Structure 1
Amino acid sequence: MHLHCYSWTGVGDDRRNEAERRPPPPSGDPGPFLASPLPPMRTCDWLLKPRNRIDASPGSVGEALEWLTGRYRAAEPQFLRTEDEARIGLGLRLENAGESLSAGVDVQWGIWLRGGRFVTCAVICCSPNRDAAHRCPAT
């Protein structure tokens, strides 16, 4: 197993556009999914996005946690509900993410930002992924 990291920041209400967030059927027209910058409905479906959507491919769970920390810290000044996020905290998020990734479970964080924006950061387990038999986008 190896890992790929993905992120998206944009207008939170855009996530309602499910047509752009659902992959096409295997034999169907690719539709808007591949071209859309929106995060997929299912976390594992990030692996279906084009290779250039990969932000990082960390060599270990520890490196993936460093990537998540960087994304969190970059978004932190814009958090909409800082008091709510403080109750969760980066430490607990990282502890849970480390346990999940070590067990082969994908991790996705989503946080509302000021101005109706939303940030999502995902670390996806690849080759194999426990939720889908998607091929590695980096090959």
Structure 2
Amino acid sequence: MHHHGYLWTGPKQRFDDEALRRPPPPYLPPDGSRPELVQRHREVKAEFPVVDLPPLETAYWLVKPVQLIRGTWDGPKEAAAWFTEQLAQYAPRFDSASDRDRAHLTLLAGSAAERLSCGGDVSHGCYLQRPAFLSLAVVCCSPNRSAPELPCPSGLPTPAHAPPC
């Protein structure tokens, strides 16, 4: 089992472009659909795998370019430590005082460590000042529990089963 870490920050307006954050349906719009709908489907199908925007479903980070991986760890403790370090680094820029609260950050870190130790993914997002957004994710490749058909983006071998919890 191994984990990949992902981090994205950017303008809230760009983050809100949900069409580029969800995988397109595998089928084309029906015959007779408006040309702009067909064109938009083509654009999303081409752009979703390469755009750096965080996917709506955490496992779909695995279809993104390998260059977006911020770190890879064999164990959940190391992956959780990276997640916790990123929270601590960005906390002074969190827009909400409750998001910056030390007790809240400790709970997030503990929850992430527990989830990762069970073979799950961790995803957290919050608004930063200026209106910007931070998205942090750690995705398990073992294979991924929620999308086992997705291959590891870095080509690392994956065992047949994730640890039970």
The question of a shared fold, defined as TM-score above 0.5 by the shorter chain, is answered with: yes
Report what 1:82 is aligned to. Answer: 97
1:104 partner amino acid: G
1:37 equivalent in alignment to 2:52: yes
Cα offset, 1:88, TM superposition: 5.2
1:19 equivalent in alignment to 2:19: yes
CA contact (8 A) 1:127 1:135 kept: no
Shift in alpha-carbon separation, 1:52–1:26, aligned structure 2, 3 A = farther
Q: Identity rate of aligned residues, in percent? A: 40
1:123 equivalent in alignment to 2:138: yes
Question: Relative contact order: is structure 1 or structure 2 higher (C-alpha 8 Å, sep ≥ 6)?
Answer: 1
CA contact (8 A) 2:91 2:100 kept: no
Cα offset, 1:26, TM superposition: 5.4
Report what 1:114 is aligned to. Answer: 129
1:91 equivalent in alignment to 2:113: no
C-alpha separation between the residues in 1 aligned to 2:122 and 2:134? 14
Query: Where does the alignment leave 5 or more consecutive residues of structure 1 unmatched?
Result: none
Shift in alpha-carbon separation, 1:16–1:5, aligned structure 2, 3 A = same
2:150 partner amino acid: H
Larger radius of gyration: 2
1:59 partner amino acid: D
Q: What is the alpha-carbon root mean square deviation over aligned residues?
A: 1.8
Q: Number of paired residues? A: 139
CA contact (8 A) 1:44 1:129 kept: yes
Q: Which TM-score applies when normalising by structure 2?
A: 0.77
Report what 2:9 is aligned to. Answer: 9
